[in-house]
Amino acid sequence: MKPQRCAQLLFLLLLAPILQAADKSPDVCATCIQKNLEYLAGPELHGRGSGTEDEHHAAQYIADQLKSYGLKPAAENGEYIQTGSITTRKVTGSPTLTYTRGSATVTLTQGKELALFAVTQPDVSGPLQKLDLTGPQTSLDSIKPGAVVLLKLKRDSKLENIVAPLVGSKAAMVIIPVSADKEPRFERLLKSGPRPEKKLADEPSGPNAMLMTQDAADQMWTLADSAPIKFHADVTPWETTHTWNVLAKIEGTTNSLQIILLSAHLDHLGVHDGKTYPGADDDASGTVAVMELARALAKEKPPQRTIVVSLFGSEEAGLIGSRYFLQHPTFPLNDIVANLNFEMIGRADPKVKPNELWLTGWERTNLGPELAAHGAQLVGDPHPDQGFFQRSDNFALAKKGIVAQSVSSYGLHTDYHQPTDTVDKIDWTHLDSAIGSMIAPVSWLANSSFTPAWNAGGKP
């Protein structure tokens, strides 16, 4: 064998352990990730339903793990868990919407022409306002307080892009026409009805929101503007329930008052009609990512900035946990430099490279490009039509002015919000790699003087 060939082989043999270590992401504990996810999405927690004792048990488990990793408590009174009191009521029976056409009274019913998202006001009597969104951009500022807003939409309109901006409007009710054969949520809501209303103290209620069959909406569109519309739903009395946020921290040194917030939501859909919705990808994957980042970062030299991890409860019920935290912060919200929220990273997205993650609202701030420049394998959201920036806890923080965006690799798989979102569908290699790829960039952010900012027009 030639001396040169011997030297090459010797070099490769010496390099092999380094390459193997790199492949395995030595800063990541793969067994920890798998153990945590298998418990959170396993049979013992029955899908971690929002506001249930299963959500509470999940919070207790996460808190115990973070404590064992060396993180300090960041909730009230030296605790790891923030318990939020909320009031809840349910809709009973079949709500109805009525109006008059000539001498006849037209009645539309939940389960037939109507499929309700939410009932925040059991009785509404307001003037019809028709809002045509098929032409030039219509300003939501034109919505009249107390109006019953009926939308006319483009055929390719996405519900997520429509509902989120209208939730904070002054309308009493928003009606969204749909083609039942093109909108599977319509069929689901026909059967299930609106989710229970969960209300935080001193927080104004948004409008009622419902889907309506296209034929019924077309008939209603022929009414005159300001025609009186009535809605009624029977509801149960208010009951006090709870949600649970886990808050823990790695205290900073020279800039300890500046906070890097890492978050995910620990809840999922629980049990419905006898079927368990495990939520392995949504969002046990994001939860274990935050837990593992916390474990890895706690082993490093203390950062200059404080790192707070927050696992929010009741996200699936309308960002309830994060909204409660914003009403009851355990540190000044102005101290939050940035929020990186982790949402559904348990599988690779075929829209991007196998080793890449994407960031919602990429174009809204300078955070994503800066993290990418410091090693994060992050790209822009390849699904802009889905409105993902508005669909997780980061949005509640962003509306307060905090630079808050979600890290994801959700490729629109068909197990989303289905009983089939199970542990066996998780791509462990991708998940471990995704988490490992974010350790160094987050560490850099926690030790830098860089302060992310909103780009022009990016702030919601």
10-14, 84-88, 426-430: least confidently modelled range: 10-14
Answer with the residue of higher pLDDT: 140 or 364: 364
Burial string for 204-230 (b: 16+ CB within 10 Å, else e) reads eebbbbbbbbeebbebbeebeeebebb
Q: 215-270, pLDDT tens digit by residue?
A: 999 999 999 999 999 999 999 999 999 999 999 999 999 999 999 999 999 999 99
Average pLDDT over residues 94-117: 95
Contact criterion met (CB below 8 Å) for 209 and 117: yes
From CA 281, how far away is CA 428, in angstroms rounded? Answer: 11
Model confidence at 74: pLDDT above 90: yes
Q: 285-334, pLDDT tens digit by residue?
A: 999 999 999 999 999 999 999 999 999 999 998 899 999 999 999 999 99
Q: 24-42, pLDDT tens digit by residue?
A: 455 899 999 999 999 999 9
Model confidence at 16: pLDDT above 50: no
Please, which pLDDT band fits residue 126 given cuts at 50, 70 and 90? very high
pLDDT at 153: 81
Show the domains of the chain with their CATH numbers.
27-87+240-447 (3.40.630.10), 91-235 (3.50.30.30)
Q: 45-62, pLDDT tens digit by residue?
A: 999 999 999 999 999 999
CA 379 from chain centre, in angstroms, equals: 19
Model confidence at 8: pLDDT above 90: no
65-74, 141-150, 193-202, 221-230: least confidently modelled range: 193-202
CA atoms within 13 A on the CB side of 300: 24
Give the chain's mean pLDDT.
Answer: 90
* Residue count (the chain): 460
Model confidence at 425: pLDDT above 70: yes
Look up the pTM and report it: 0.85
pLDDT at 117: 86
